[in-house]
Chains A and B, each alone.
Chain A
Amino acid sequence: MEALERLWKCAEERPAKLKALKAEGMKIVGTIGLGYIPEELIYACGAVPQRLIKGGQREAVDAAHAYCHTAFSTFHKAQIGYLMGGKEPLYSSIDYLVVEAGDWFSELTGMHVYAERKLPTTWLGIPGNPDFSEALPYFIRSLEKLRDALEELTGIKLSDSKLKEYILLYNEMRSLLRAISLLRKAPSPPISGLDFIRLNHASFYCEPQEYVDALRSIYSEIKDADGSYTADTPRIAIFGCPIAEGDYVLPKLIEDTGGLMVAEELCGGIRHFESNTELNSNLMESLAARYYPPRPRDPWKYPWGEDLPSLYTGIVEDYNVKGVIWYQLMYMEAFAYLGYVVGKRLKGLGIPMMTLQSEYDMEGRLEATRTRVETFVEVVRQSGKGE
């Protein structure tokens, strides 16, 4: 697909693009978190958002150990490593950081980086108890503070018309991603799981209009197409910790060993596309309602009750998933706890689940991991034979 190739190229050229934008006087705003920071707002304030989501490289994790404790989330250590190492042009181009103060890792990543690099930072306040009546108003105020900080950074006053323009653009982006994702419900999907994740990740690296244009082409090209999967291909989902851009060992292994990855729930490791921003007279409130829903999908919002585990079992049912691999990054313990609860629910549904742990060291033990994945895919295949 030509459009897909265009997006891969766009992602590849992102560092050079940011450099050029900086040269034009644009401010590059790095964001770290689980998806609570509205990029629409950053664009509308005249800056360029850059989600910091690269990972999978052990060197970045090792580089972070000079600044933070070993027992810190693998994904976030990588972000510290890239931000402090000075070797990643994309990370070196960041002028300003926005980190989510909703999970401790993102908040503390901001602290570690500030302690060493004094990079101007906003810690975006995200309350942990979304069902509390004061929580959403607090988040609205957090967004307003962010808006003020961005306006000061760029010297541009936010206008409703600009914000609305970006909200509509991002709504279209999410609608298209959702439509493409839903194609994976088909018995033989026209897009592989790995390609879908990469496509999703490309949204963090391309200009939104360019990205939406490419998505339109891709969707129209594949919406009526069939994939090349047979009826007995094991349908696998990856759940758990964020899969970073570049950390593709696991989805690749699933597909290399004959599995079909049809769904994923990766918290901050994916652009969430299920819901859009509903416009009302106060656009900041509209954004807040979209980005801080009553039951956010991360394990740092309490209580989980039945709602959070149901998110996962719902995906299993919707996408006809037959086996789940729980991707567990080292020291992201919230996911280990959630994995235990979700695993119990899946067991009740007769869905096998395997946990794979990584500290971005999977490539170093590729054969052993391949054997485990291969065996799991085969177990799922065999368990589906009687159906």
Chain B
Amino acid sequence: MDVYDELMQMCGFEPGESKEYKSTLKAGLEKWLVTEDDVRFAVTERLPKCWSTNLEGMRKILGCWLKEFIRVVMPTPEETRTCHVLYPQPGMLYLDPIKRADPTIQVGVPDCLATLVGSAYFGVGWKYVEAAEREGAAIEHVTCSLNKARYGLHVLGILPRAEASLAFHTFCEDASLADQLIYEWDGTRTWTPYRVRDIPFEGDPFDEENIKYFAACLKEGHRKAEEWLGIEIKDEHREAAMEVLGRGFIEIMSPIWGHMKADPAPLNANDVIYATLPIASALDIGYDEFFEANDILQEELMEMVEKGEGVVPRGTPRVAWRGVHPWGCPWLIPMCHELGLSADSPEAFLFGEFAIGNAMEAVGGEDDMYMLMARLLALISVVGTSVEFVYQSTSDHIKEYKMDGLISSAYRPCRAFASHSLMLARMIEQRMGIPCITPDVDIYIDRGDFPKERMKTILETFADVVRKSKAKREGEGVTQ
């Protein structure tokens, strides 16, 4: 058994499947510049330490990510054209109708795969980022490594020129900027669905005019895709995509969010992200395998919760990662555990702002796909929702999940994340008395610029503060 076999085993492949898939896997990894040593690193260091690979469902979910990672660079012979989108959400709703309109179009979220798999599993994300920096992307942490990785994939020839690229300014300013360089590099045509960020600090994130404009921009993106790809996106394609999303909310997100309220929580924060994000991503491999993997996981979780089992001992102080969970540095999660913090509690961004209650309220019977997307996205801080709304949803999350502390990522190049994180941390500390830190960490690519020892010192101190704060609140009989 070599490291590739070990990798597939750790990613839940069945024995017969592994044998058949091995050559594709090796060829795909080679394209992604993943060496045998990188695979060895994944199977000895990363995967077993950072994810709950003792759970079959989790292994299979990791396998879905791996297969999608390979598929992006190893399309089927039928897939002759490409349409990309930035970042997962709402890639699924946006790209799935395109795939349904014409299955010969490869759809994908390559930046997400470069970071969630390339960087997180194999530690090779820096290769893509450095390629981008050689060709004009601002160096170091002035700009976002997620987007630099995306551009780098074009520079390195890992990704071909795409027929259409739909990047979301709504999530990320650097996305649209990276798109301009990608266009400059290989002529990939792009469209930028744009949410105007004019919601006041205490304003209504669902301002009708703002949402309508955003929805119209999203619709225009599909019109451009139709034109550039020569397809027709019909109502049935949009409806089918909405159905998958709805199923994902009901069958995956909602139960996992429910299980994660248990003390101890049955999954760690890395697990949660990988188990839930695919329903927001566009998957060329389809969703069936992912839903099956989740069915297995849900059964395992139910059993763990019943038995009171979890990643850390019961009663461990709980903290949440807010902003984008640092999947580029998944080692932060086990580091928290070692320091006596439960970072297995849910991620505040996903479970707070995007909580099911909020989401249901936001979409409330909306049957126009673009309006639904616009309203869903309006929940999320980086998309330009109001800061006060972010505070409300985060504080609800802290209360609901009985959080003892908040780690609010202040990822340097992401102005919106960093700014909101700082403002929010102050608001949470002042209004709720919950300790917060805003560590400056690369949430997408681990290039070693944020040394582990420095992060450990920060988290160690924070763990002390959280423990004392929890003890004090318990002594005073204060509950969240």
Stretch at the interface among B53-61, B152-160, B188-196: B188-196
**In the complex, which residues of chain A have a beta carbon less than 8 angstroms from the beta carbon of B194?**
127-129, 132, 302
**In the complex, which residues of chain B have a beta carbon less than 8 angstroms from the beta carbon of A224?**
none
In the complex, whether B419 has a CB less than 8 A from a CB of chain A is yes
Stretch at the interface among B176-184, B237-245, B350-358, B364-372: B176-184
In the complex, whether A325 has a CB less than 8 A from a CB of chain B is no
Q: Given A125-B210, A341-B180: A69 and B422 within 8 A (CB)? A: yes
- Chain A contributes a number of interface residues (CB within 8 A of B) equal to 49
CB-based contact A123/B177 at 8 Å? no
**In the complex, which residues of chain A have a beta carbon less than 8 angstroms from the beta carbon of B141?**
71
Interface centre among A70, A108, A114, A124 (most CB of B within 10 A): A108
Q: Which of A303, A304, A334 is within 8 Å of B173, CB to CB?
A: A334
State the Cβ distance, A98 to closest chain B Cβ, in Å. 11
Q: Given A104-B415, A333-B142, A336-B142: A111 and B201 within 8 A (CB)? A: yes
In the complex, whether A299 has a CB less than 8 A from a CB of chain B is yes
CB-based contact B198/A129 at 8 Å? no
Q: Given A111-B419, A128-B192: A101 and B197 within 8 A (CB)? A: yes
Interface centre among A70, A107, A141, A338 (most CB of B within 10 A): A107
State the Cβ distance, A107 to closest chain B Cβ, in Å. 5
Q: Which of B174, B191, B427 is within 8 Å of A333, CB to CB?
A: B174
CB-based contact A337/B410 at 8 Å? no
Residue of A nearest to B413 (CB): A71
Residue of B nearest to A299 (CB): B177
Q: How distant is the Cα of A302 from the Cα of B183 in the complex, in angstroms? A: 11
CB-based contact A341/B181 at 8 Å? yes
Q: Given A71-B141, A125-B210: A337 and B216 within 8 A (CB)? A: no
Q: Which of A68, A132, A331 is within 8 Å of B422, CB to CB?
A: A68
Q: How distant is the Cα of A293 from the Cα of B181 in the complex, in angstroms? A: 23
CB-based contact B180/A304 at 8 Å? yes
Q: Which of A115, A124, A302, A341 is within 8 Å of B387, CB to CB?
A: A115
In the complex, whether B137 has a CB less than 8 A from a CB of chain A is yes
State the Cβ distance, A151 to closest chain B Cβ, in Å. 18
Q: How distant is the Cα of A103 from the Cα of B135 in the complex, in angstroms? A: 24
CB-based contact B183/A303 at 8 Å? yes
State the Cβ distance, A128 to closest chain B Cβ, in Å. 4
CB-based contact B196/A126 at 8 Å? yes
**In the complex, which residues of chain B have a beta carbon less than 8 angstroms from the beta carbon of A73?**
415
**In the complex, which residues of chain B have a beta carbon less than 8 angstroms from the beta carbon of A111?**
201, 387, 419, 423
CB-based contact A123/B198 at 8 Å? yes
State the Cβ distance, B180 to closest chain A Cβ, in Å. 5
Q: How distant is the Cα of A104 from the Cα of B169 in the complex, in angstroms? A: 10
Q: How distant is the Cα of A263 from the Cα of B142 in the complex, in angstroms? A: 28
CB-based contact B177/A303 at 8 Å? no
CB-based contact B173/A112 at 8 Å? no
Residue of A nearest to B135 (CB): A340
Q: Which of B200, B216, B416 is within 8 Å of A104, CB to CB?
A: B416
Q: Which of B135, B213, B415 is within 8 Å of A108, CB to CB?
A: B415
Q: How distant is the Cα of A25 from the Cα of B469 in the complex, in angstroms? A: 49
**In the complex, which residues of chain B have a beta carbon less than 8 angstroms from the beta carbon of A127?**
194, 196, 213
In the complex, whether A273 has a CB less than 8 A from a CB of chain B is no
In the complex, whether B268 has a CB less than 8 A from a CB of chain A is no
Interface centre among B183, B197, B413 (most CB of A within 10 A): B197
**In the complex, which residues of chain B have a beta carbon less than 8 angstroms from the beta carbon of A115?**
201, 387, 423, 426-427
State the Cβ distance, B150 to closest chain A Cβ, in Å. 13
Q: Given A302-B169, A334-B177, A337-B181: A101 and B198 within 8 A (CB)? A: yes
A–B Cβ pairs within 8 angstroms, 28 of them: A67-B422, A68-B422, A71-B142, A71-B412, A101-B196, A104-B416, A108-B419, A111-B387, A111-B419, A115-B423, A123-B200, A125-B198, A126-B198, A129-B194, A134-B217, A138-B213, A299-B177, A299-B180, A302-B169, A302-B176, A302-B190, A333-B413, A337-B137, A337-B138, A337-B178, A337-B180, A340-B135, A341-B180
Task: Give residues in B with beta carbon < 8 Å to A.
Answer: 135-138, 141-143, 169, 173-174, 176-181, 183-184, 190-192, 194, 196-201, 209-210, 213, 216-217, 220, 384, 387, 410, 412-413, 415-416, 418-419, 422-423, 426-427, 440
Sample of 4 further A-B pairs with CB below 8 A, known A69-B418, A102-B196, A125-B210:
A69-B419, A71-B415, A127-B213, A302-B176
Q: Which 8 A-B pairs give the minimum distances between C-beta atoms?
A: A340-B136, A125-B198, A101-B198, A69-B418, A336-B138, A71-B412, A125-B196, A128-B194
